Structure 1
Amino acid sequence: MAGAVGIGAQAAAPAPLPKVETPKGAPANPETSKSEAGKQDGELPAARSIIDRHVKAVGGRDAILSHTSQHATGTFSVPAQGLTGSVEIFGAANPNRTALRVQVPGLGEIASGYDGSHGWSISPLLGPMLQVGKELEQAKFDADFYGDLRDPKRYRSMKTVEKTTFDNRPCYKVSLVREDGSEDFDFYDASTGLRAGSMNTRETPMGSVKTTSIEGDYKKFGNLLLATTVVQQIMGIEQKITLASIEFDKVPSSAFDLPAPIKALIK
Structure 2
Amino acid sequence: MALSVFPSLNTKASEPTGDEILEAFIKATGGKDAYSALHNQVSSGSMEMPAMGIKATMISYSEEPNKSYSKIESPAIGTIESGTDGSVYWEITMMSGPRILEGEERASSMRAATFNSTLLWKQLFKTAEYAGVDTLDGKLCNTVILTPNEGQPEKHYFDAESHLLVKIEATINTTMGAIKIENFPGDYREVNGVLMSYTSRQVLMGMQEMIFKSDKIEFNVDIPDSIFIVPDDITALMEK
TM-score by length of 1: 0.80
Deviation at 1:142, TM superposition (A): 2.4
**Match in the other structure for 1:44:** 15
Structure 1 residue ranges (4+ consecutive) displaced by more than 6 angstroms after TM superposition = none
Q: Is the 8 A contact 1:156 1:181 kept in 2?
A: no
Q: Which structure ranks higher in relative contact order (CA pairs < 8 Å, sequence separation ≥ 6)?
A: 1
RMSD: 1.7
Task: Indicate yes or no: 2:228 matched with 1:256.
Answer: yes
**Match in the other structure for 1:62:** 33
Unaligned runs of 5+ in 2: 1-10
Q: 2:176 aligns with which of 185, 199, 206?
A: 206
Alpha-carbon displacement from aligned partner over 1:155-181 (angstroms, at most 9, x marks no partner) = 322111011012442211101112336
Change (3 A) 1:114 1:181: closer
Unaligned runs of 5+ in 1: 1-39
Amino acid aligned to 1:174? V
Q: Is the 8 A contact 2:35 2:194 kept in 1?
A: yes
TM-score by length of 2: 0.88
Distance 1:257 1:81 in 2: 33
Q: 2:53 aligns with which of 82, 92, 99?
A: 82
Deviation at 1:263, TM superposition (A): 2.3
Structure number with greater Rg is: 2
SS at match of 1:45: coil
Matches within 5 A, 1:117-136: 117-136=87-106
Distance 1:104 1:137 in 2: 27
Deviation at 1:153, TM superposition (A): 4.0
Distance 2:26 2:112 in 1: 18
Distance 2:128 2:137 in 1: 22
**Match in the other structure for 2:211:** 240
SS at match of 1:145: coil
**Match in the other structure for 1:146:** 116
Change (3 A) 1:185 1:150: farther
Distance 1:212 1:231 in 2: 8
Q: Is the 8 A contact 1:91 1:98 kept in 2?
A: yes
Q: Is the 8 A contact 2:151 2:172 kept in 1?
A: no
Q: 1:99 aligns with which of 50, 56, 69?
A: 69
**Match in the other structure for 2:3:** none
Q: Is the 8 A contact 1:51 1:150 kept in 2?
A: no
Q: Is the 8 A contact 1:167 1:214 kept in 2?
A: no
Distance 2:129 2:103 in 1: 27
Distance 2:128 2:150 in 1: 14
Distance 2:120 2:146 in 1: 9
**Match in the other structure for 1:13:** none
Amino acid aligned to 1:259? P
Task: Indicate yes or no: 2:198 matched with 1:228.
Answer: yes
Distance 1:42 1:212 in 2: 31
Task: Indicate yes or no: 2:55 matched with 1:109.
Answer: no
